[in-house]
A and B are shown apart, each in its own frame.
Chain A
Amino acid sequence: MWKFIVRRLLITFPQIVFLSVLVFIMAQLMPGDALTGLIDPTITQEALEIQRERLGLNNPWYIQYADWVTGLVQGDLGQSYRFKTDVTAVISERLNNTVLLSVVALVFTYLIAIPLGLISGRYNDSPLDSAITGYTYLGFATPIFIFALVILWIFGYQLGWFPTSGSVAPGMQPGTMEYYLSKLNHSLLPGISIALISVVGTVQYLRSEIVDTKQKDFIITARAKGASENRVYNRHIFRNSVLPIAAFFGWEITSLITGTVFVERIFGYPGMGLLFLESIGQRDFSVVTALTLLFGIASILGALLSDIILGMVDPRIRIK
């Protein structure tokens, strides 16, 4: 197992390097540079040149890349043109919110998807299964923001059960119980919106895995031992079908990122997704670059996590 994890980590490293190169190139292609946001627009061309020289902006690309990476490693993501502070500071404020939202979304995704997938697969071709499958088709066809808008309208505005924007009620004292409850409360509606869409893939996948697994020979062996149907499902079919869902987990993280980008916007939820959209709108490119890098790293780590989980649960992979 350890050998497997180490080997898997060794693959991750070049992936991250490759990602950083891509993002670096992207940053170079964007208009403006590290100075654009900082400087008085009336500065003379010569003074600008001196500054550029001083910051190393005239160096060959690989030196710039090395400087950039060194900065990254030290937590220096550049300066935000819009906020006039370190990008790191801008992001870290939002990072907590997005992590909370993602966790809520993930929890709801699995809370909803696993029972639905199980029922759908176990009682396949029953009316219940048709209803669930019908929902997944609907979910596939509907863009996430429409779901989010409908949910916001019903539960936020019509019923008034949940707050309709922000990440915490105004005037809360950070660190108090009320503060955390309010944060959680604000994340529920956007989290569920993401979950309602992201369940679709998991439900369909789980369903087809179960339908597939229940025809396997070893299921007949289990029945021949005298195991009850419930036992056959719980001990043999379920476990063997949920496994591939673990592999899905990494993709889930990637789809969460896109999910949060749109949903945060609709719910006015101050997370990284909203920041990303605002920064594009306001041409705050250093923030866009930093966020792209973070999103990319999150995807890579997601895939890493999936593989490790898969390795832990599937002995066939563990051995290899």
Chain B
Amino acid sequence: MSNELLKIKNLKTSFRIDDEYYAAVDDVTLTLNKNEILGIVGESGSGKSALAFSIMRLHTRAKIEGEISLNNQNIVKMPKSKLNKIRGDEMAMIFQDPLTALNPLMPIGRQIEENLFLHNKKLGQQGRKKRTIELLNLVGIPRPERVYEQFPHELSGGMRQRVIIAIAIANDPELLIADEPTTALDVTIQAQILDLIQELKQKIHAGIILITHDLGVVAEMADRVAVMYAGQIVEIAPVDKLFANPLHPYTRSLLNSVPTEGQDRLHVIQGVVPTLKNLPRTGCRFAERIPWVDASHHEENPDLHEVEPGHFVRCTCYKHFYFPDNKEEQENGVS
């Protein structure tokens, strides 16, 4: 138990749209251990960022219910002043778009130093500068003394993402949330940034939540994976188990939509994640995207339950599920 860093229980994050609340994160329960990378995958709009922002409490207008505890401190109920002590110190975040996440009018050095200043008052001005240069070095920025004085627009996207990572790790956070840290970058730069995160994990021993919609990234980096669909976690398992034995139809469709060698068929499920307002609020949220499964097989309100140690799935009738073009599955799977 002492290994547990973050614990989320029945988290529900709702936004107000036209005088009504709609949950973008619904009944999410998960834990993250120290020194562990939890991958979160899901299509665009499935609520990954909404979950990450809830943990950091960065939503300005959202209703958050449930429990989020970091080192046994409940973040949901925490007063702002206490929260500000934790943010940037115990927990930190790397953002999706490095081009907009830095203040355009502040030199790079000052943006990193701000984080040091806020949480480490003992460090004087000299100490802050020294540590900043050290951090710039650590994240692999060449000529850090020069970059220290530069402004964001003078750096490339990849360099800016490194700066954002430097800000995030400035105070050796215990929890690091990376929200699609490479989506906005070129492929070659993506690999470098991921390597950097991997490397940092070893150095700062943080628990990392890595949000992505790239299953390849998850396979390579994560220890465990959570699959999100329409605000819910539909399956969560150690990475090898999930890839070897995906259970939820959505996970399987995701895995199958990644082309691999020797596979001639792609199982792509039609449709997209419904928008918040149009989300089905009763019954299984995924049901409407697999219309070929008989209605009697769908579950009313599936719960996340453990099918194997560490392997949870929010679907009880997955055994009935099959892809329509897969004969074998159809023959064996359907009752």
Contact = CB atoms under 8 A, between A and B. Distances in A.
B95 A220 contact: yes
Interface string A236-273: 10011001000000000000000000000000000000
Contacts of A316: 104, 151, 153
Interface in B73-101: 80-81, 83-89, 92-93, 95, 97, 100-101
Given A227-B114, A319-B154, A221 B87 contact: no
A72 B65 CA distance: 75
Given A224-B58, A319-B154, A217 B101 contact: yes
B84 A220 contact: no
B85 A226 contact: yes
Interface string B145-172: 0000001011000000000100110000
A217 B53 CA distance: 12
A221 B179 CA distance: 12
B309 to A, nearest CB: 35
Nearest to B116: A225
Contacts of A13: none
B167 to A, nearest CB: 7
Contacts of A319: 151, 153-154
Nearest to B170: A225
B235 to A, nearest CB: 29
A99 B101 CA distance: 44
Interface string A137-149: 0000000000000
Interface size band for B: 20 to 34
A8 interface: no
| Interface hub of B97, B103, B114 (most chain A Cβ within 10 A) | B103
B119 interface: yes
Contacts of B167: 221, 225
A221 B104 contact: no
A225 B105 contact: no
A290 B221 CA distance: 75
B105 A216 contact: no
B58 A223 contact: yes
Nearest to A235: B114
A228 to B, nearest CB: 6
Contacts of A243: 105
A314 interface: yes
A225 B95 contact: no
Contact of A218 (B92, B103, B154): B103
A132 interface: no
B103 A222 contact: yes
A227 B100 contact: no
Given A228-B84, A316-B153, A221 B105 contact: no
B87 A223 contact: yes
B56 interface: yes
B119 A314 contact: no
B87 A224 contact: yes
Contacts of A223: 58, 87
A315 interface: yes
B45 to A, nearest CB: 18
Interface of A: 216-218, 220-229, 235-236, 239-240, 243, 313-316, 319
Given A225-B92, A225-B115, A315-B151, 18 more contacts: A218-B100, A218-B101, A218-B103, A221-B95, A221-B164, A224-B93, A225-B114, A225-B167, A226-B84, A226-B85, A226-B86, A226-B119, A240-B105, A243-B105, A315-B105, A316-B104, A316-B153, A319-B153
